[in-house]
């Protein structure tokens, strides 16, 4: 089974700050997922990436396959970015995901 | 809106009872996945179906079962409920196993 470590567990930032959330895993993978869980509980898939870097708006995800490490960056953070961010990697089949414990991000105005 | 519909949104029931959670995947998505999110265990993969067939099984208890119907909607049946089954149950769908996941809003189950 793939082990997933996320850091930090909690992060408080001021609006406009650059945010980085890290995710490390133990076993080589085909793709890594970054998810966002809103305060109401709903989950949104942000990125699925297998190499390099992906960008969507102010969000950037990078992955280093050799180091088994991924980062999620948020540029110019905003209070609406406040959520739990979760990384997930396959254990077994592609969608038998193992999830990190999540990073609770709070962006203060 | 992800296009994945889960019903009901909330469910309160007593120990020993049986409930059925329903998921309608996004139009065109053949794969359906069920996940459980509890306070102590976090998010866990339960089971995956592809076009009506079970494809992968995770930490799903024997008291739980699921199926995917010909119209591609899926149901998760939870029986002999225990207090520890209280959790958020998410359904997700994707076109293929390498396509992005689309999550429903979840069903919050409370067992009293």
Identify all chain A residues contacting B101, using CB atoms and an 8 Å cutoff: 33, 45, 48, 95
How close is the nearest chain A Cα to the Cα of B40, in Å? 10
**pLDDT at residue A93 above 80?**
no
CA distance B75 to B43: 19
- Chain segment A3-58, per-residue pLDDT in tens: 899 999 999 999 999 999 999 998 888 889 999 999 888 999 999 999 999 999 99
Per-residue pLDDT, A39: 84
Question: CB B45 to CB A96 under 8 A?
Answer: yes
Which of A81, A76, A99, A103 minimizes the C-alpha distance to A17?
A: A76
């Amino acid at each position: 089974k793939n082990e997933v470590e996320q850091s930090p567990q909690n992060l408080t930032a001021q609006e406009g700050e650059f945010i980085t959330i890290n995710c490390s895993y133990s076993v080589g993978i085909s793709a890594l997922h970054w998810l966002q869980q809103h305060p109401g509980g709903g989950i949104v898939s942000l990125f699925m990436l297998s190499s390099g870097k992906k960008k969507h708006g102010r969000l950037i995800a990078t992955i280093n396959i050799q180091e088994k490490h991924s980062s999620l960056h948020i540029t110019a953070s905003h209070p609406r970015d406040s959520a739990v961010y979760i990384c997930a990697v396959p254990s077994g089949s592609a969608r038998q995901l193992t999830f990190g414990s999540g990073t609770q991000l709070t962006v203060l105005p | 809106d992800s296009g994945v519909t889960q019903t009901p949104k909330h469910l309160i029931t007593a120990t020993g009872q049986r409930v059925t959670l329903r998921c309608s995947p996004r139009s065109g998505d053949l794969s359906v996945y069920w996940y459980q999110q509890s306070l102590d265990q976090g998010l866990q993969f339960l089971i995956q179906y592809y076009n009506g067939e079970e494809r992968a099984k995770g930490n799903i208890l024997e008291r739980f079962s699921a199926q995917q119907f010909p119209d591609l909607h899926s149901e998760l049946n939870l029986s002999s409920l225990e207090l520890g089954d209280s959790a958020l149950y998410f359904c997700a769908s994707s076109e293929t196993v390498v396509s992005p996941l689309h999550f429903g809003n979840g069903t919050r189950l409370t067992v009293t």
